[in-house]
């Protein structure tokens, strides 16, 4: 062991008060959390830097079945380009339903008619839909398969602690092992234990709302149409899946959501049908149902010494615009590009310059999306007739102005602003 390394270990021992036994292994990057964000980053780093760059993903859920996850995600065009570039999309393309158009309505629950205020044609470029719907388990399985094929080391372990020194960070896993790396990435979701252990505070609030998620089978074809019905308790989204099925993301006040989810099947079906309507014929619940508490949360910093936060560990937003995962994939693309650029020049991939570059790239965009989704939720999830008038005039205006509409489509597709390479469909 080099002299300087021994010196830093003595420093660590003083800082933590624990005897230092030294790490059991070494790698370049350890990613805590093997959800969409963590796995996509691991693949991007391996593909960008090759076999000599060692990447480990640790997540206690790796290898467990995801069939209980009722969610499906709207994958924006930019995120799809990233998956295509990483060689993940071809594994799921036949399970993905393009969103061909979208209608937005605004009404009370008991209204017999739901007037359409806004319609979107769904292409960002000819033949390129602005988003696809895909069920979460299929996408995670494809990411795991790609990660294994690319030589990412996958460990079914939780990150339990870490200590940063000047030239490395020692990461402790639940199995009792320690891995020394240059960079630790927190991709461990909304309740990130890694973020907390790093002492990074989050700002935000809980909405008194929950998102009920389930899958519905219907008699008639949806023709790739997504619908967002703004009801007083919040948006009720019908998002097309392959076959005559749709994914439902149904926002309710929290206690009402808990009541609805706990209803017997017939009662749940009746509540669903009141909102879904009969335009697609008879409907049947065709998957598990689950209510997710909704909130807004932004980490005060996306970085610390030899540490970067990505995905929900860095930010959680309201699903009103279906952008949470897409935002996380923008973190992935930006961090991967910053690390790959530095490592190719022989620079430290966990050094402060790399981390600052990543943070500068992502902070503004994330805050802007957080504020936008919060504002939309406040504007639409309420019972005020005056606000309803204002928003309906606004929606009508957007509908009539092709330039503004096109801008919204490009925003939803994630292709505006300073877009990192992977989201443009370019390899690193």
Ligand X SMILES: Cc1cc2nc3c(=O)[nH]c(=O)nc-3n(C[C@H](O)[C@H](O)[C@H](O)COP(=O)(O)OP(=O)(O)OC[C@H]3O[C@@H](n4cnc5c(N)ncnc54)[C@H](O)[C@@H]3O)c2cc1C
Residues that bind ligand X in the complex, under the rule CB under 6 A: 32-38, 58-61, 71, 73-74, 158-159, 187-189, 193, 211, 213, 249, 292, 311-312, 319, 322-326, 328
Taking a C-beta distance cutoff of 8 angstroms, is the pair 187, 41 a contact? yes
The CA distance from 236 to 250, in Å, is: 4
Nearest CB to ligand X, comparing residues 158 and 296: 158
Smaller CB distance to ligand X: residue 9 or 296? 296
In whole angstroms, what is the distance from residue 90 CA to residue 72 CA?
18
Closest CB to ligand X among 33 and 349?
33
What's the min distance (Å) between Cβ of 254 and ligand X?
13
CB of 239 to ligand X, least distance (A): 7
| Shortest distance in whole angstroms from residue 332 CB to ligand X | 9
β-sheet bridge partners, residue 26: 180
Instruction: Kindly tell me which of 117 and 250 has the beta carbon lying closer to ligand X.
Output: 250
CA atoms within 13 A on the CB side of 35: 21
Count Cβ atoms within 10 A of the Cβ of residue 87 and give its class: 0-12 exposed, 13-18 middle, 19 or more buried: middle
Nearer to ligand X, 71 or 388 (CB): 71
Decide: helix, strand or coil at residue 25. Answer: strand
Least distance CB 402 / ligand X (angstroms)? 26
CB of 421 to ligand X, least distance (A): 20
Whose Cβ is closer to ligand X: residue 9's or residue 200's?
200
H/E stretch holding 375 reads helix 352-380
Closer CB to ligand X, 5 or 190, in the complex? 190
Q: Supply the minimum distance, in Å, between the C-beta of residue 212 and ligand X.
A: 8
Which tokens in the block code for residue 59? 């997540």
CA angle 198, 200, 201 (to 5 degrees): 145
The least CB distance from residue 240 to ligand X, in Å, is 12
Q: Minimal distance in Å, beta carbon 194 to ligand X?
A: 6
Q: Which is nearer to ligand X, 28 or 59 (CB)?
A: 59
Q: 49: closest CA among 287, 262, 337, 373? A: 337
CB-side neighbour CA atoms (13 Å) of 326: 32
CA distance 397 to 394: 5
Shortest reach from residue 385's CB to ligand X, in Å: 28
CB of 204 to ligand X, least distance (A): 14
Asked if 300 contacts 203 with a C-beta cutoff of 8 angstroms, the reply is yes
Using CA atoms, how far residue 421 sits from 139, 368, 415, in Å, is: 21, 21, 11
CA dihedral 79, 85, 89, 91 (to 10 degrees): -150
Contact present, 39 and 194 (Cβ < 8 Å): no
Structure token pair of residue 299: 């980490």
Choice between 195 and 391, CB closer to ligand X: 195
- Nearest approach in angstroms of CB 68 to ligand X is 12
- Residues 153 and 228: their CA atoms lie apart, in Å, by 41
Residue 173 neighbours by CB under 8 Å, 6+ apart? 58, 155, 157, 158, 159, 160, 179
Choice between 9 and 44, CB closer to ligand X:
44
Name which of 322 and 350 has its Cβ closer to ligand X: 322
Helix axes 385-400, 352-380, angle to 10 degrees: 120
Contact 11, 35 (CB under 8 A): no
């Amino acid at each position: 062991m080099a002299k300087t390394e021994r010196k830093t270990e003595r420093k660590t021992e003083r800082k933590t008060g624990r005897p230092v036994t030294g790490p059991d292994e070494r790698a370049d990057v350890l990613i805590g959390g093997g959800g969409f964000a963590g796995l996509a980053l691991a693949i991007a780093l391996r593909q960008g830097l090759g076999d000599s760059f060692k990447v480990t993903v640790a997540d206690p859920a790796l290898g467990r079945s995801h069939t209980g996850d009722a969610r499906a995600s709207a994958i924006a065009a930019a995120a799809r380009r990233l998956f295509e570039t990483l060689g993940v999309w071809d594994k799921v393309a036949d399970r993905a339903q393009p969103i061909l158009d979208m209608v937005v309505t605004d009404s009370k629950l008991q209204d017999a008619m739901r007037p359409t205020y806004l319609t979107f044609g769904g292409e960002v470029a000819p033949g390129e839909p602005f988003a696809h719907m895909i069920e979460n388990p299929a996408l995670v399985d494809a990411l795991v398969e790609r990660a294994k094929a690319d030589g990412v080391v996958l460990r079914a372990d939780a990150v339990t602690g870490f200590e940063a020194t000047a030239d490395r960070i020692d990461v402790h896993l639940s199995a009792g092992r320690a891995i020394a790396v240059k960079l630790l990435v927190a991709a461990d979701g909304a309740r990130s234990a890694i973020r907390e252990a790093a002492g990074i505070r989050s700002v935000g609030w809980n909405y008194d709302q929950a998102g009920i998620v389930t899958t519905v089978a219907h008699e008639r074809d949806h023709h790739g149409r997504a619908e967002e019905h703004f009801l007083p308790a919040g948006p009720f989204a019908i998002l097309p899946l392959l076959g005559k099925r749709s994914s439902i993301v149904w926002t309710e006040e929290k206690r009402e959501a808990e009541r609805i989810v706990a209803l017997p099947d017939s009662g749940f079906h009746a509540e669903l049908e009141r909102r879904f309507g009969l335009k697609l014929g008879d409907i049947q619940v065709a998957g598990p149902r689950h209510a997710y508490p909704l909130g807004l949360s932004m980490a005060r910093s996306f970085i610390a010494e030899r540490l970067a936060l990505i995905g929900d560990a860095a930010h959680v937003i309201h699903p009103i615009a279906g952008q949470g995962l897409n935002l996380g994939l923008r973190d992935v693309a930006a961090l991967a590009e910053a690390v790959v650029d530095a490592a190719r020049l022989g620079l430290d991939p966990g050094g402060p310059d790399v981390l600052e570059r990543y943070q500068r790239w992502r902070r503004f965009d994330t805050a802007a999306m957080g504020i936008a989704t919060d504002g939309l939720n406040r504007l639409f999830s309420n019972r005020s007739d005056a606000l309803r008038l204002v928003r309906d005039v606004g929606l009508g205006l957007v509908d009539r102005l092709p330039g503004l509409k096109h801008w919204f489509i490009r925003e939803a597709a994630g292709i505006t602003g300073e877009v990192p390479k992977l989201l443009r469909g370019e390899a690193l």
